[in-house]
Amino acid sequence: MAMNVSDDLEEQIAHVANRLGARLCNRMAFVGGCVTGLLVSDPIVRETIRATKDIDLIVDVIGFADYVRLQESLRKRGFRESMNEEVICRWSLDDLTVDIMPTDENILTFSNRWYPDAIRSAFRHKIRTGTKIHIVSPPFFLATKIEAFLGRGDGDFLASRDIEDILTLLDGRPEVEVEIAAQNMEFRQYIAGHFSDFLSESSFEYALESVTREQSARTQALFQRIQRIAQKG
């Protein structure tokens, strides 16, 4: 049976995890678009996951000296630092781009405000290759993606892969409403506030239609799901 994009992404994640080894991998959590297919529960939506060669991880390090030791360990395991000076957390592994981001913004002078909570709430998951990894929980997947869009999306809902990933998860995981509702008030207000802002932009609806392949019933269901989340902050 031919592999779909989600299956291919699992193979890529497994390759990175196996090269990291259990000790390093257990310190990290997979985040970003590479895990979208692992988080959606609707098999139809899972078939529409976008392809990527970018694998993102977050890691807790205690000070810069610990980060230097982490870098040394990565080099020994075949990871090579990218020559792209604009992205200082970037590594290469064979044909994959691997971004390994400390949760502490003081290490590399940048981070995502939700990374510390995201790594604390990450859950253990066994992918189909048998490899065990930690992945970001669905609510914090959304929060980290919203934060990323605010920083680099330029308000362009149609061109943003972050928005595409957000909408794909919302479309393919109905239970995420309950999962968001179980978070604390600060988190719920963050999600609700930004979803309210997004809904006020006319171009956001076009992004919904793009993700749902202009299937009116799916688009309406997704729109209503976002509305409910926005109203429950």
Predicted local distance difference test score (pLDDT) of residue 196: 98
What is the torsion angle, in degrees rounded to the nearest 10, for the CA atoms of residue 54, residue 222, residue 199 and residue 117? -50
Start-end of H helices in 153-184:
161-172, 176-181
The pLDDT value given to residue 83: 80
Tokens 């078939």 belong to residue: 47
Separation between Cα atoms, residue 233 and residue 231, nearest integer Å: 6
Tell me what pLDDT residue 2 has. 53
CA–CA dist 46, 56 (Å, integer)? 19
Distance between CA 198 and CA 155 in Å, rounded?
9
What pLDDT score does 103 carry? 95
Q: Write the pLDDT tens digit of every residue in 83-127.
A: 876 788 999 999 999 999 999 999 988 889 999 999 999 999 999
Q: How far apart are CA 163 and CA 55, in angstroms?
A: 17
Say if residue 44's pLDDT is above 60. yes
| Predicted confidence (pLDDT) at residue 3 exceeds the cutoff of 80 | no
Find all residues with CB under 8 Å of 217, minimum gap 6, and list them: none
Burial class from Cβ neighbours inside 10 Å (0-12, 13-18, 19+) for residue 114 reads: buried
pLDDT digits (tens, 9 = 90+) for 147-195: 999 999 999 999 999 999 999 999 999 999 999 999 999 999 999 999 9
pLDDT class for 19, splitting at 50, 70, 90? very high
CA dihedral 202, 192, 51, 90 (to 10 degrees): 120
DSSP 50: P
- The answer to whether 147 and 166 are in contact (CB under 8 A) is no
In angstroms, the CA 14 to CA 130 distance is 9
Confidence label for 12 from pLDDT (cuts 50, 70 and 90): very high
- pTM, to two decimals: 0.95
**What is the reported pLDDT for 134?**
98
Strand order in 132-135's β-sheet?
A: 80-81, 90-93, 96-102, 54-59, 28-31, 132-135, 123-126
- Give the model's confidence band at 31: pLDDT under 50 very low, under 70 low, under 90 confident, else very high: very high
Instruction: Check residue 86 and give its pLDDT.
Output: 76
54-87 confidence digits (pLDDT tens): 999 999 998 999 999 999 999 999 999 988 767 8
Element (H, E) at 101: strand 96-102
Q: What is the mean pLDDT of residues 32-37?
A: 97
CATH 3.30.460 occupies which residues in the chain? Answer: 5-136
Find out whether 77 and 17 touch, Cβ atoms under 8 Å.
no
- Fold for the domain defined by 5-136: Beta Polymerase; domain 2 (3.30.460)
pLDDT value for 193: 98
- Mean pLDDT of all residues in 12-41: 97
**pLDDT band of 232, cuts 50, 70, 90:** confident
| Predicted local confidence at residue 85, as pLDDT | 62
